[in-house]
Homo-oligomer: A and B are copies of this chain.
Amino acid sequence: MKSLADSASLGERVAAGDTRAVARAISKVEDGSKDAAQLIKDLFPLTGRGLVIGITGAPGAGKSTLVDKLALHYRGREERVGIVAVDPSSPFSGGAILGDRIRMQALGLDRGVFIRSMATRGNMGGLARATVDAVSILDAAGYAKLIVETVGVGQDEVEIVKAADVCVVVLVPGMGDDIQAIKAGIMEIGDIFVINKADREGVYATEKELEALLSLSSRENGWEPPIIKTIATESKGIVEFAAAVQAYRDFHFQTDLGSQRRRAIARWRILELLREKLVSQTLASDSASERLDRLAGEVATRQRDPYSAVEELISQKSVVSGQ
């Protein structure tokens, strides 16, 4: 009962915008702690008010600086900004926490900005689920703009950005061969494209190439993704960038695109959580985790194949649980 009461009061403090409570609540969903479920249940009715802006792109594109400058722009308009940075670095390297501190300094310890990095969580999964839960917490706490930034081009990272109301893809001029592959992968998700470091050589070529790629992809909803050029380090193009975000938001809410998208996001979110929950249920008992260890040993030495191992884990579970 204690943990339930704790969680309720934590929820109330989050709803009141208490930043320490927000930080603690995010830690709970990140750790997959038991009261995280109750917390999100309590807070969920308060969500859906903030605008979720997802920003992704290749490494080295200057996404963090762009995000910081966009946040400063919103702060200039007295809007509170929550930033969730998905960081592929290991929890052991301490990169995420260090990164937060450096960025907090850049934003001048502004109490209207909340920055949190989410590190990958090892092979039990749950990064995407933890990230969207963190956004829900910030949303419930009354942050008006919720920026989710993902480094990299991985599958999970793309999914996380797709769960935003507006998806922004950041490119830089002339980044080599693989950029073509990245573009192909994230072309469909971009509502807005930003070419950052637009003072670099090759910006015209990148823009033309991008226009050509965009003209090939058909958008059933009628939105034509704009291409915004920025030099984030010099705060250039940020006003235009923010205007494009607003334009998309207005478009999004005028059409029924908004509700379709929210439905697709909800579906994805349920599936992510379902996956995590089913696995943790199956492996909850001591005997199940011993069985997993034994099966891993057998698969490693080729005495058994992974498919049979999974069948054994699942069949044993239904015998044991019976609830």
List residues of A whose CB falls within 8 A of some B CB.
37, 40-41, 44-45, 47-48, 58-64, 87-90, 92-93, 95, 99, 120, 123-125, 127, 151-159, 175-182, 184-185, 187-188, 259, 262-275, 277-279, 281-282, 292-293, 295-302, 304-310, 313-314, 318, 323
Contact = CB atoms under 8 A, between A and B. Distances in A.
Given A59-B181, A155-B156, A310 B274 contact: yes
B292 A59 contact: no
A49 B264 CA distance: 43
Contact of A296 (B59, B120, B263, B292): B263
Contact of A306 (B40, B64, B185): B40
A50 to B, nearest CB: 13
Contact of A158 (B88, B93, B264, B293): B88
Query: Which 8 residue pairs of A and B lie closest in terms of their CB atoms, listed nearest first?
Result: A154-B154, A60-B176, A44-B305, A266-B299, A267-B296, A59-B178, A89-B184, A278-B278
Contacts of A180: 95
Contacts of A154: 88, 152-158
A36 to B, nearest CB: 8
Nearest to A174: B60
Contact of A184 (B95, B153, B159, B302): B95
Given A267-B296, A271-B123, A274-B282, A181 B89 contact: yes
Contacts of A184: 89-90, 93, 95
Contact of A62 (B177, B278, B318): B177
Contacts of A177: 60, 62, 64
B44 A123 contact: no
A180 B307 CA distance: 38
Given A152-B152, A270-B310, A308-B41, A61 B178 contact: yes
Contacts of A64: 177-178
27 contacts: A44-B305, A45-B302, A58-B59, A88-B154, A88-B185, A89-B184, A89-B185, A90-B188, A93-B188, A123-B268, A123-B271, A124-B271, A151-B182, A153-B153, A154-B158, A155-B157, A262-B300, A262-B301, A264-B296, A266-B297, A267-B292, A270-B309, A271-B292, A274-B310, A274-B313, A278-B278, A278-B279
Contacts of A123: 159, 267-268, 271-272
Given A123-B267, A270-B310, 18 more contacts: A40-B306, A48-B302, A58-B59, A59-B153, A60-B178, A88-B153, A88-B155, A88-B158, A88-B181, A89-B181, A92-B188, A95-B180, A95-B184, A123-B272, A151-B181, A154-B158, A266-B298, A267-B296
